[in-house]
Structure 1
Amino acid sequence: MAERKKLHRGDRVSWSSHGSRAHGTVQEEITHRTRAAKRVVAASKDKPQYRVRTAEGRDAVHKPEALHREPG
């Protein structure tokens, strides 16, 4: 089983969004069921998700496998 990707606050990331690449910065790791980015996030300690601030200033929440850490 592959080791889970650990991201940290401030990491620059990108992800696929509607056929193109979106970019942003990790704001926090979510490890419990909560409301974020205008939706309910079913995260847990075993299956965390990350709140990301997009380059346009919006919040998004993604699973770690959807995010790609950018160099720099």
Structure 2
Amino acid sequence: MLHRTLVTIKQKYPNEQIIFCNGGDRNDSNIPEMSVSGIDFKFSIGGEDKKNSSSWILKNWQGDSEE
């Protein structure tokens, strides 16, 4: 889904620089979005020491977080 979103954004703004940022646990070999042409990818945004992730947040929210 993210891949399709990036393609749509690039099509809508073909003459603009689009930058997609990733955290410290991602690199150019482990994200499928790298195949979208015309997008600049930046890595290790926020540092190498990962404090949290959307996956962890969602897992906690869906889990036994109610008391």
Q: Answer whether TM exceeds 0.5 for this pair.
A: no
Question: TM-score by structure 1 length?
Answer: 0.22
Instruction: Identify, as 1 or 2, the structure richer in helix.
Output: 2
**Higher-Rg member (1/2):** 2
Instruction: Identify, as 1 or 2, the structure richer in strand.
Output: 1
